[in-house]
Amino acid sequence: MILDKGICTVYRMEDISEPGGMPKEEPVKFHESWFGELDFGTNPEYETQHREDVGVAARIRIHQNREITNLHAVKLSTEPDKRYEVTRVYHGRDDESGELISDLSLKAVT
């Protein structure tokens, strides 16, 4: 897959609060990569007691970075005003090229 849609910037949230103060987090950039868009389907979200309900707004593929987890935030150069939260990550190889990739499922954050 050709990763030519735009630039994906990944942020980790770091605590910048003063000792004993209210928690305050700030996004800190730790990875940047070209990305490609992946196809995806949507399912209805049902709120039940023992189920994780996550809505997917986008799925993208980037060059592999195994540090990326579902605790990170993402901004895409194609939508600079939107912020996304990583809900799921798959680290593997591209079927066509054999390159190491990370597939990210993203949820829009308001």
Residue with tokens 């004993």: 20
Identify the CA nearest to 104 among candidates 63, 48, 47: 63
Per-residue pLDDT at 18 exceeds 70: yes
Comparing 107 with 42, the larger pLDDT belongs to 107
Cβ neighbours of residue 93 closer than 8 Å, sequence gap 6 or more: 99, 100, 101
Comparing 99 with 41, the larger pLDDT belongs to 99
CB 21 within 8 A of CB 12: no
Comparing 34 with 39, the larger pLDDT belongs to 34
Q: State pLDDT tens for residues 39-98.
A: 876 665 556 666 656 667 899 999 999 999 998 999 999 999 999 999 999 999 999 999
Comparing 46 with 12, the larger pLDDT belongs to 12
Question: What is the reported pLDDT for 51?
Answer: 63
Cα–Cα distance between 8 and 54 in angstroms, integer? 21
Helix, strand, coil fractions of the chain, as percent rounded to 5: 0, 55, 45
Q: Which tokens sit at 86? A: 């990583």
Identify the CA nearest to 68 among candidates 88, 53, 84: 88
Question: What is the reported pLDDT for 105?
Answer: 93
Question: What is the reported pLDDT for 7?
Answer: 97
Q: Domains in the chain and their CATH numbers?
A: 6-40+54-109 (2.40.10.270)
